[in-house]
């Protein structure tokens, strides 16, 4: 009986489900940062690290559940890594799209507040006016150009997926035991 087609559709469903869940967690993180005021200040490193750990824990739990329920309790390292990376890529695309709409359409005043805060911080550090101007010009380019904004968000999500994917694969991998007859 050929189960490769069933496993492929099962894997696709897993990637979609995990990508949607991870994307929702990323969106909740954005909303928490926005409404707590942390996003405007540049974020909180400890909160961001906790968020990344949360993403990793969610990915491990979902991958173990998939391994045990759909793959007979076994998953090779490469497959666990690949599925996690694909899920993070989908989550990054969803999160980037939401982030763009949220910041540029729903709360367009947010960027101006953030730029003013950043500019004040740079001036307070004693940077020359030319450097402050150049930094602000770069910041505006990176956040207001949709293609650049979206690309940076997705690439960042994929890099996070690479790192967490390696960890998830190392934790979740389980190869079937092969008994060799003498």
Q: What is the pLDDT of residues 162-175, one digit of tens each?
A: 999 999 999 999 88
The pLDDT score that the predictor gives to residue 92 is 95
The pLDDT score that the predictor gives to residue 11 is 87
pLDDT at 39 over 80: no
Given pLDDT bands bounded at 50, 70 and 90, which one contains residue 43? low
Q: Residue ranges per domain, the chain?
A: 10-104+149-172
The pLDDT score that the predictor gives to residue 156 is 93
The secondary structure of the chain, three-state, reads CCCHHHHHHHHHHHHHHHHHHHHHHHHHHHHHHHHHCCCCCCCCHHHHHHHHHHHHHHHHHHHHHHHHHHCCCCECHHHHHHHHHHHHHHHHHHHHHHHHHHHHHHCCHHHHHHHHHHHHHHHHCCCCHHHHHHHHHHHHHHHHCHHHHHHHHHHHHHHHHHHHHHHHHHHHCECCCCCCCC
The pLDDT score that the predictor gives to residue 1 is 43
- Whether the predicted model's global pTM rises above the 0.85 cut: no
Given pLDDT bands bounded at 50, 70 and 90, which one contains residue 2? very low
């Amino acid at each position: 009986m050929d189960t490769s087609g069933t496993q492929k559709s099962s894997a696709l469903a897993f990637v979609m489900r995990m990508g949607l869940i991870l994307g929702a967690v990323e969106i909740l993180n954005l909303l928490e940062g926005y409404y707590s005021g942390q996003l405007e200040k540049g974020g909180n490193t400890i909160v961001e690290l906790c968020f990344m750990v949360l993403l990793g824990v969610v990915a491990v739990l979902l991958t173990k559940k998939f391994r045990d329920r759909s793959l007979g309790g076994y998953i090779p390292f490469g497959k666990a890594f690949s599925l996690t990376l694909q899920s993070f890529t989908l989550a990054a695309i969803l999160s980037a799209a939401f982030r763009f709409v949220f910041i540029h359409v729903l709360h367009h005043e947010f960027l101006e507040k953030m730029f003013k805060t950043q500019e004040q911080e740079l001036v307070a550090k004693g940077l020359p006016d030319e450097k402050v101007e150049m930094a602000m010009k770069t910041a505006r380019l990176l956040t207001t150009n949709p293609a650049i904004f979206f690309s940076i968000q997705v690439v960042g999500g994929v890099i996070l997926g690479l790192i967490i994917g390696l960890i998830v694969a190392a934790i979740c991998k389980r190869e079937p035991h092969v008994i060799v007859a003498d």
